[in-house]
Amino acid sequence: MFAASTVEYIKTDNVRALAVTTATRSEVLPDVPALSEFVPGYDAAAWIGVGAPKNTPPEVIDKLNKEINAALADPKLKLRLADLGSSVAGGSAPDYGRRLEEEAEKWAKVIRAANIKPD
């Protein structure tokens, strides 16, 4: 995800992007290499998800998931998000749960390795 103004500067060659921090090249800036092309395994992507309280009924989760994925598939929304520097990835509730677990594990390792302590 990039700031819309940043993407415009990059696309008009006013700023030279060295790399994106996602695991793969960005759909928004396909000519900019991913940092993982130089540092294997590197992935520090910003992402946004939608969550619900733990005891939300499954039928509500399914309905939300269906509607959110439908919105994310809309070409107008995809284009607008691309203009803002974002790419779209929908999925299922279990996919999202796995993503949360993977991200928590990944960043916990970084916190331990860097010996980061809360203030």
Between the alpha carbon of residue 30 and those of residues 17, 24, 74, the distances in Å are 11, 9, 21
Between the alpha carbon of residue 63 and those of residues 25, 53, 56, the distances in Å are 32, 15, 11
Any idea where the domains of the chain sit in the sequence?
1-47, 49-119
Distance CA 35, CA 67 (A): 34
| pLDDT the model gives residue 2 | 63
| Domain 1-47 classification at class level | alpha beta
| pLDDT the model gives residue 79 | 87
Query: In tens digits, what is the pLDDT along the chain, a chain of 119 residues?
Result: 566 678 888 888 889 999 999 899 988 889 999 999 999 999 998 888 999 999 999 999 999 999 999 999 999 998 888 877 788 888 999 999 999 999 999 999 999 999 999 98
> pTM score, two decimals?
0.74
| pLDDT the model gives residue 83 | 78
| pLDDT the model gives residue 28 | 83
Residues forming beta bridges with residue 20, ordered by sequence position: 34
Distance CA 62, CA 68 (A): 10
